[in-house]
């Protein structure tokens, strides 16, 4: 087992104070006096527009406030998500909503090119998705927990997992939850982030997806934020599962 250096311990305690998973290598690298540490590159990958925002929006806002770079990677453009609209019409509306949500969170939208309700997992799709993810050069990736009632959510999770294995686990992998109980199931967080300060922006980013009746589904996320906050000892929280084979000494938050 590798010995933890004093600098790493300092980096971990600072990261813990911020309430975010930060990598030990950030604490070690680029730390010459007078220079700013290199920002982390974070990718939050979800199946549909509104999934990354609802599962991870408070944490995304915390990261971007700290100067880190976040890309929101949407597997689809929500082509099947608006009744009475054709797939291209729905995709155009939901792409614009995603761009609005990303602007609120100061994140960059990226689209992986699959179709809502018809996502595929096969050799070609694994390779295609991996190329999109690798192009972002992530230090940390968040995605759906794989046990989920929605097929597209399961597809997104497995595509990320396959890319992580193919990349020899070169980035840290975390899972988020959406609509706990009705979609995500059997999810027990290993890590929590205090999102009390950014919950308003998370809500605004979710409500940017106006075509999706956010008044209806966000009520559950309000309860989830409160419950994870209660578990973590803060007002509002987000819970994550950290893959135990992550490459670096990511910070245990609690």
Residues found near Zn ion in the complex (CB under 5 A) = 47-48, 51
* Short-list 247, 242, 250, 243, CA closest to 168: 247
Nearer to Zn ion, 54 or 64 (CB): 54
Give strand pairing partners of 222: none
> How many Å apart are CA 183 and CA 153, to the nearest integer?
9
Do 105 and 69 meet the contact criterion of CB atoms below 8 Å apart? no
Nearer to Zn ion, 47 or 173 (CB): 47
Least distance in angstroms from the C-beta of 33 to Zn ion: 46
- Three-state DSSP state, 238: strand
Least distance in angstroms from the C-beta of 223 to Zn ion: 18
Nearer to Zn ion, 75 or 253 (CB): 75
Nearer to Zn ion, 51 or 139 (CB): 51
Least distance in angstroms from the C-beta of 50 to Zn ion: 7
Burial (0-12, 13-18, 19+ Cβ within 10 Å), 35:
exposed
Burial (0-12, 13-18, 19+ Cβ within 10 Å), 220:
middle
- Three-state DSSP state, 152: helix
Chain residue whose CB lies nearest Zn ion: 48
Least distance in angstroms from the C-beta of 43 to Zn ion: 17
Nearer to Zn ion, 48 or 125 (CB): 48
Least distance in angstroms from the C-beta of 29 to Zn ion: 36
| CA dihedral (206, 66, 71, 26) positive or negative | negative
């Amino acid at each position: 087992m590798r010995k933890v250096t004093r600098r790493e311990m300092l980096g971990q305690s600072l990261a813990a104070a911020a309430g975010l998973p930060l990598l030990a290598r950030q604490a070690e690298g680029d730390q010459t006096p007078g220079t700013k540490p290199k920002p982390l590159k974070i990718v939050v990958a979800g199946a549909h527009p509104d999934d990354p925002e609802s599962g991870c929006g408070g944490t995304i806002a915390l990261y971007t406030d700290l100067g880190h770079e976040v890309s929101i990677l949407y597997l689809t453009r929500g082509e099947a998500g608006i009744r009475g609209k054709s797939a291209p019409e729905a995709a155009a509306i939901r792409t614009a909503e995603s761009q609005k949500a990303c602007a609120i969170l100061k994140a960059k939208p990226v689209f992986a090119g699959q179709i809502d309700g018809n996502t595929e997992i096969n050799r070609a799709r694994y390779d295609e998705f991996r190329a999109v993810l690798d192009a972002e050069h992530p230090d940390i990736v968040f995605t759906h927990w794989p046990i989920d009632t929605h097929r597209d959510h399961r597809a997104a999770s497995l595509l990320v997992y396959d890319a992580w294995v193919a990349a020899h686990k070169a980035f840290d992998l975390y899972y988020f939850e959406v609509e706990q109980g009705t979609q995500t199931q059997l999810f027990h967080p290993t890590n929590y982030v205090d999102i009390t300060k950014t919950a308003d922006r998370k809500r605004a980013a979710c409500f940017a997806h106006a075509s999706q009746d956010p008044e209806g589904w966000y009520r559950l996320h309000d309860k989830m934020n409160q419950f994870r906050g209660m578990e973590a000892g803060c007002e509002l929280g987000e819970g994550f599962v950290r893959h135990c084979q992550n490459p670096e000494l990511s910070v245990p938050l609690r």
